[in-house]
């Protein structure tokens, strides 16, 4: 992609997210998400390979279904309440459909199937974009409607995402797939606490984004795509290999590192809400 179209594409991604985050109307939020989705498709399909074409198709179809569910939810809510306002999402059925569509857009379990495949089929830079920037708009919308979503739905999806993310990363040799399952796991923590403390959920997702960005950038710099590549990079760049190792430990939430802080606060909040069993499951 030449510089001028690339600028337009990145402008579309940025404007789409900002439009969704700043809108108070479901239609404008939907327009923002559609603009965001259509703008990233040329970036995913940039490598002229079969895997990239497959990843683009999977991403497009999944996001299109999620957008259709979002429109269905908001339309049903309009029939019931007469309002397009995001904060007026009162209908229980609409809220459930909306929560599922947002989970599908960000790649949380049980509708996570597309994320590892799409990440594996594209470049490391695009994988970074999908796991960080593309999560901001759906998480913001979920934050705005968190008071209306039934906690049971959020907690069930959150716990399932933690389990899928934790088990899915085992036995993986491809770093992009490992990062995809790491993303699913962290989304699990975010969604679980969204029901009880939405501000803490935002803190968790932004901490994850801050930690994930340098991991992808360093992997891009060293051209490492598998664990085997990563195990041999210490001979050429020991500092960078050590940094990636420490950042990965931080992302997994090991005590001395930054990644442990939001997880500790989430567990503390769950215990203070008398949800000790849930906190134990999360651990």
pLDDT in tens, 52-78: 999 999 999 999 999 999 999 999 999
Q: What is the pLDDT along the chain (283 residues), one digit of tens a residue?
A: 568 888 999 999 999 999 999 999 999 999 999 999 999 999 999 988 999 999 999 999 999 999 999 999 999 999 998 899 999 998 899 999 999 999 999 999 899 999 999 999 999 999 999 999 999 999 999 999 999 999 999 999 999 999 999 999 888 889 999 999 999 999 999 999 998 999 999 999 999 999 999 999 999 998 888 888 888 888 788 899 899 999 999 998 888 899 999 999 999 998 888 777 777 766 6
Query: Using CA atoms, how far apart are residues 98 and 94, in angstroms rounded to an integer?
Result: 6
What pLDDT is recorded for position 3?
Answer: 80
Total domains in the fold of the chain: 1
Q: pTM here?
A: 0.93
Q: What SS3 class is residue 226?
A: strand
d(CA 6, CA 1): 6
Distance between CA 17 and CA 129 in Å, rounded?
12
Residue indicated by tokens 């969204």: 194
Strand, coil or helix: 1: coil
- Residue 255, pLDDT score: 87
Over residues 129-149, the pLDDT tens digits come to 999 999 999 999 999 999 999
Domain enclosing residue 9, as ranges: 3-282
């Amino acid at each position: 992609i030449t510089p001028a179209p690339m600028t337009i594409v990145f402008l579309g991604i940025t404007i789409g997210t900002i439009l969704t985050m700043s809108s108070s109307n479901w239609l404008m939020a939907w327009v923002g998400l559609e603009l965001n989705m259509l703008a990233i498709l040329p970036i995913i399909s940039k490598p002229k390979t079969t895997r990239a074409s497959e990843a683009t198709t999977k991403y497009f179809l999944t996001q299109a279904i999620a957008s259709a569910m979002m429109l269905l939810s908001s339309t049903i809510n309009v029939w019931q309440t007469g309002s397009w306002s995001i904060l007026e999402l009162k209908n229980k059925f609409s809220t459930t459909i909306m929560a599922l569509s947002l989970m599908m857009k960000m790649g949380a379990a049980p509708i996570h199937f597309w994320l590892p495949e799409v990440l594996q089929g594209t470049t490391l830079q695009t994988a970074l974009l999908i796991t960080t920037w593309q999560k901001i708009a759906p998480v913001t919308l979920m934050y705005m409607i968190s008071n209306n979503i039934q906690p049971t739905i959020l907690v069930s999806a959150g716990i399932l995402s933690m389990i899928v993310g934790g088990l899915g990363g085992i036995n993986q040799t491809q770093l992009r797939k490992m990062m995809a399952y790491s993303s699913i796991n962290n989304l699990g923590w975010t969604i679980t606490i969204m029901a009880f403390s939405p501000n803490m959920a935002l803190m968790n997702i932004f901490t994850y984004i801050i930690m994930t960005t340098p991991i992808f950038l360093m992997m891009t710099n060293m051209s490492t795509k598998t664990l085997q590549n990563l195990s041999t990079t210490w001979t050429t760049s020991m500092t960078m290999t050590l940094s990636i190792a420490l950042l990965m430990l931080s992302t997994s939430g090991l005590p001395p590192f930054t990644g442990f802080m939001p997880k500790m606060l989430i567990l503390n909040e769950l215990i203070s809400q008398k949800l000790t069993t849930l906190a134990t499951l999360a651990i």
